[in-house]
Amino acid sequence: MHHLRSRVSIEVDNATQDPLTRTVSVSSTVSYSANISITIPIRSAISAVLGGSWTNSYQLSDSVGITVQPGYKSWFEFTPIMDNSYGVTEYYNSFGSKVSSVWTDIYTARRVSGQADGILTAVTVRR
């Protein structure tokens, strides 16, 4: 899911002759929503699985040290890890007859210790 990767820090540019060490704040908000066209009874059933929420967001916030060599610049990028739930959702009426079914494919952001889970990458390039 590289299309979810985003820059989450300022750029540190080293125009000096010596290595430059900085502490950089990284911050990202990972949002998701499950927007599929389904009937209200099926939506209620899926809401029970999602914990009642069709939209949510998790934050990543931290400070990270980085050393940038002379003639280079660097920043951090974050790629969130998403969980995927999928399958056929079926709705039955009170008589036990199937009323409808719909393919459901939902991605939700993973959370660890209260923050968005993912891969934090230091990117370094020549100036």
What is the per-residue pLDDT for 38? Answer: 57
What is the domain partition of the chain in residue ranges? 2-126
C-alpha distances in Å from residue 53, one per residue of 31, 32, 35, 65, 113:
12, 10, 11, 36, 20
Those residues with Cβ within 8 angstroms of residue 67's Cβ, 6 or more apart along the chain or in another chain: 19, 20, 21
- The structure's pTM equals 0.71
Closest by CA position to 34, among listed 21, 23, 48 = 48
- Which residues are 91's β-sheet partners? 100
Q: How confident is the model at residue 2 (pLDDT cuts 50, 70, 90)?
A: low
pLDDT tens digits along 6-65: 999 999 999 999 999 999 999 988 876 665 555 566 666 666 555 555 567 788 899 999
Percent of the chain with pLDDT over 70: 80
- pLDDT reported for residue 15: 96
3-state secondary structure of 45: helix
* 53/43 Cα distance (integer angstroms): 11
